[in-house]
Chain A
């Protein structure tokens, strides 16, 4: 007994080391689940406000407020353009089937909320972006994020004043996109260049041309259909011979990204819950 006790006292640093090692490996492996949980949202509020301060140093005060006004305006215009497009579509559609985008009370399915980037990485393997809007502004996980040029990513988690976005530039990001000719496949980033990503699982017989625009497919509840993503730059064969993957030049410039709009889908929960009921 005495010996055992002595042994433990003598090697307590080993125990401590192994304990901390396991703890960090556990955090690393359980990362995504843990990140989504509420434990760290207090920490996110603190880091977010520090990033807000450092970001303040990085951008000129006047330009910032002017930019905010402009993005707000853009978000409003985007909302109304969407409204008109849907109204037009429902008018053109004789069977009135396209009117799903506006419900009976005439509230919009998609709303656009302007936000500022307070922190971002673009050159790592797993990049994240922090925005200055959070749960208090009605942001919830799984909302889409757009720049003025194209898509940016999806909200992963929120604290009361900030939200963290998992951008296109993250291998964990998966989004279904499609070509003009309606062939669709998941968008996958290879971890190298912030300007390019890949549209995979495109059948070899799909018809397209270099320079064609790739848009969101609208199959998920995150983004509306037809938002611009990027243009086709080149074609690569996948290991499986039946599919090609297309190199896409993104419309969004992540290096200069500063203001974004968040897409809110009023019916996201309803649709997800309905879809869940048919899955085992």
Chain B
């Protein structure tokens, strides 16, 4: 059941990315790369090989649609691999059972750090690799910053939809 849910998430995020988010260019710079949410939400205890393989597959799917072969794949593979270290840094140590990273399981501060780390790492690679042929430092910085804020906002939005019932508990 869990596997089917993940597959639906995978397909939905790829579809949303190529059909909707890729067409968003707020102020000409900010483009949300929300599909990283799939990697963010993989269970903490999942085998590292599986995480990296799934990340590569996700990136490749996006690349095939965007005609940017290798670009998103590269970023996803690195993000998927570094996820282990980010989790090691930020995940709460007192929880042992198999859980997926979320606001609820991580708490505010840890979740924010973990998600920001993942998004920033991912976007740094995507946009700087993309900019390789035409270097424009200020433009690159704005692109990364704008897209980072937008993606983070969307991750939090999704996180709150996922977890609607617990809103009252928080405040």
Chain A interfacial positions (CB closer than 8 Å to B): 12-13, 16-17, 20-21, 23-29, 31, 34-35, 40, 43, 47, 50-51, 54, 121, 123-126, 128, 164, 171, 190-192
Contact = CB atoms under 8 A, between A and B. Distances in A.
Contacts of B81: 13, 17
**How many residues of B sit at the interface, in one of the four size bands?**
35 or more
A13 B19 CA distance: 33
Q: Is the interface of A mostly helix, strand, loop or mixed?
A: helix
A21 B134 contact: no
Contact of B56 (A24, A54, A128): A24
B70 interface: yes
Given A171-B134, A191-B134, A43 B64 contact: yes
12 contacts: A13-B52, A17-B81, A21-B78, A27-B73, A28-B70, A31-B70, A50-B18, A50-B19, A123-B28, A123-B31, A126-B68, A190-B134
Q: Is the interface of B mostly helix, strand, loop or mixed?
A: helix
Contact of A34 (B15, B49, B69, B131): B69
Interface in B57-92: 59, 63-71, 73-74, 77-78, 81
B134 A25 contact: no
Contacts of A190: 134
B133 interface: yes
Nearest to B74: A24
B144 to A, nearest CB: 13
B6 interface: no
B65 A35 contact: no
Contacts of A47: 18, 64-65
